[in-house]
Amino acid sequence: MVKTGIEIGAEHVANEVPFGLFGEWFAAAEAAEPDNPNAMTLATATTDGAPSARIVLLKGWDEHGFVFYTNFESRKGMELAANPGAALLFYWKSLSRQIRIEGSTAAVTEAEADEYYGSRPRLSRIGAWASDQSRPLASRAALEARVASFEARYPGEVVPRPPFWSGFRLMPARFEFWQERPFRLHERRIFVRAGTGWQTGMLYP
């Protein structure tokens, strides 16, 4: 992981690498947030620009991007297949901080998806088979019946990954780090990808 001396509000900024600052803020969130510090809003859009947003969980990140998993046949999966542009938003109330990340997405490798899927609890793997994600559901009983059906199909610990279930990696083109300050005079630092590096600057609150 890249390290950096950047701190919003500091008089000097050293080694301006947004992933390093993300790592520092994310570590602080893991120490401070009582539940799901890896929760993030994922915004997608259709090809004609109709937006949608939902909370998902960050399951991995590095200098190549930010990874989350889903059913490819869900609403977000189909929107990302048609329009790979997307945005993420982390908000940590206990720290009065948020991070906005914008970029394009691509599917993770089969090996990455297999490794993460295999790390999930058995019933979560069963659930990936049982849920026709984002499609109409007649009743809770219908979902429970599908879960029971797939539990019977895969009675042991080995539950193969469904072909329609995998992950996406968002490859960032822009970051914004936001720190709350009194009287709404918040601090906002942006990083915009420029070739193989990053340009940085500040925004009015």
Residue 196's Cβ-count burial label (10 Å; 0-12, 13-18, 19+) is: exposed
Q: Catalytic one among 184, 188, 189, 193?
A: 184
Question: Could you tell me which of 21, 17, 108 has the C-alpha nearest to residue 70?
Answer: 108
d(CA 146, CA 161): 16
**Which residues is 95 bridged to in the sheet?**
none
**Token pair 């297999």: residue:** 114
Structure tokens at 166: 């995998």
**Token pair 């990808």: residue:** 193
Q: How many of the other CB atoms lie within 10 Å of CB of 97?
A: 20
75 included as an active-site residue: no
- Which residues are identified as catalytic? 184
